[in-house]
Amino acid sequence: MSIGHPELIAAITSEIATSGPIPFVRFMELALYHPQFGYYMRPPESGAERIGWSGDFYTSSDVHPILGQALAKQARQLDKLLGHPDPFTVVEMGPGKGLLAKHFLSACRTQADDSFSQRLRYVLIERSPAMRDLQRANLLHGLVEPGRITWVESLADLKPGSITGLFFSNELPDAFPVHRIQVEQEQIREIYVDYDGARFVERLRPLSSPAIQDYLARLNLSLPDGYQTEVNLEAVRWMAQVSRAIDRGLAITIDYGHTAQDLYGPDRAKGTLLCYYSQMTNEDPYVRVGQQDMTAHVDFSTLATVGEEHGLHVTGFTNQMSFLMGLGVEEMVAHMDPEGPEFRAAIHLMRPEGMGRTFKVLIQHKGIAAPTLDALAFKPFFGTALAVPSAA
Ligand SMILES: C[S@@+](CC[C@H](N)C(=O)[O-])C[C@H]1O[C@@H](n2cnc3c(N)ncnc32)[C@H](O)[C@@H]1O
């Protein structure tokens, strides 16, 4: 089996040859986001796609437009709560192929008798030029006036307090590069990546950053010997930046993940790092480097805590099934044939043994009183588990 994209392998091994073994987080950054050869940064080979039914993995928006429709419905409720601002800004970060944006914008156009779609400004944040090209191809077809839709490369490009409206993402922080750690003789050590001339090999080293220890300390975790897991420091920086960008409004984060208690519990003693290639998962990040996706589950407790520290308060935490039910999925599917493929696709997003429960939704608010939202009308069955366990 190929160890990966040849030029990318050359770039990574040359960095290792110069600086010695690199922390896994750096390896993952290069594998996914090396400016020329990274998985997300290269245009796909002709006719191929990364995300989608014929790609390496599919997302909710490949299945059915109801998630985009539900988000549009929540945006309208927020618009009312905010007093119909002009502009009402929607920022979507990590839009993939742009399908969710397409579904969202199409749903906004359905009620021609109000001013919402005229006041709407849609900003897509995407670091990959190849993905931006794909998004433009999917979006600039009269869905929205060209001046009302813009792209930026980084969240840092948005001015602090520039969002009055909604910030959202679907499957973004799971795609951030993560540090990987392992407990050895009660010490937390970090996984580094070395190259032995033919393959990448792992080495345990002292932590590359004190922020990893701070992250774990914040969670009061006690991990047993041999335990391996991931620490997503980029998600911490991201949450703080999201808060800075919002003046008044909501942040909605949809992704697969858990509360810290679950993520760092005994059931996940080998961590959650997973690779996707051609709709199959594997646990080996050292094959097909740059040719397969790599992800790690999201720690929603840390997102919630960091958000609170920066004035972005938790409105609620739910799963995709309850989120869609609260936003009226029943009405959205009412016209569909219950035996037909469209109905089955829509229901696929809600399945309690699948996407309905794996995907969690964290909603946070800033600059407004805690709102009562349709998205949170149905209580998820895991209760209030976001709270970080206190020290014994
Ligand atoms: C798994 S895909 C998201 C799929 C998409 N949201 C959907 O619903 O189909 C992750 C996306 O996030 C982008 N991305 C990752 N890190 C980013 C960052 N720091 N800033 C902007 N975009 C980023 C990737 O290039 C990719 O387009």
| pLDDT for the residue 392 | 40
Question: Domains of the chain, with CATH numbers?
Answer: 6-376 (3.40.50.12710)
The atom number, within ligand 1, closest to the CA of 293 reads 1
Which amino acid, one-letter code, is at 319? N
How far is the C-alpha of 113 from the C-alpha of 133, rounded, in Å? 32
Nearest residue (by CA) to ligand 1, atom 18, is 127
Distance 392 CA to ligand 1 centre (A): 38
Can you read off the two tokens belonging to residue 355? 């996407």
Distance 173 CA to ligand 1 centre (A): 8
- Give the pLDDT confidence of 221-261 residue by residue, as tens digits: 889 999 999 999 999 999 999 999 999 999 999 999 999 99
Ligand 1 mutation target, pool 97, 131, 172, most atoms within 8 A of CB: 172
Ligand 1 binding pocket (C-beta < 6 A) is 40, 51, 59, 61, 93-96, 99-100, 125-128, 131, 154, 170-172, 175
φ, ψ dihedrals at 89, nearest 5°: -100, 130
- Asked if 74 contacts 112 with a C-beta cutoff of 8 angstroms, the reply is no
Nearest residue (by CA) to ligand 1, atom 16, is 176
Q: CB within 8 A of 192, min separation 6: which ones?
A: 21, 22, 23, 24, 202, 203, 204, 205, 208
Nearest residue (by CA) to ligand 1, atom 1, is 171
Distance 34 CA to ligand 1 centre (A): 14
How far is the C-alpha of 5 from the C-alpha of 373, rounded, in Å? 46
| pLDDT for the residue 346 | 87
Distance 233 CA to ligand 1 centre (A): 17
Ligand 1 mutation target, pool 128, 233, 295, most atoms within 8 A of CB: 128
Q: CB within 8 A of 81, min separation 6: which ones?
A: 368, 371
Nearest residue (by CA) to ligand 1, atom 3, is 96
Distance 63 CA to ligand 1 centre (A): 17
The atom number, within ligand 1, closest to the CA of 59 reads 9
| pLDDT for the residue 387 | 56
List C-alpha distances in Å: 348 to 50, 58, 67, 97, 266. Answer: 21, 12, 11, 20, 29
Nearest residue (by CA) to ligand 1, atom 4, is 96
How far is the C-alpha of 359 from the C-alpha of 350, rounded, in Å? 9
| pLDDT for the residue 391 | 45
Nearest residue (by CA) to ligand 1, atom 8, is 170
| Mean pLDDT per 10-residue segment, the chain (392 residues) | 94 98 98 97 83 90 93 97 97 96 90 82 97 91 82 98 98 98 96 97 98 95 95 98 98 96 95 96 97 97 96 95 93 89 88 89 97 90 54 42
Distance 96 CA to ligand 1 centre (A): 5
Distance 108 CA to ligand 1 centre (A): 23
| pLDDT for the residue 146 | 76
- Cite the DSSP H helix spans in the chain: 6-19, 24-33, 60-63, 66-81, 99-108, 116-119, 129-139, 210-218, 233-245, 260-263, 300-309, 320-326, 329-333, 341-348, 355-358
Side-chain-side CA neighbours of residue 334 (13 Å): 6
Nearest residue (by CA) to ligand 1, atom 20, is 127
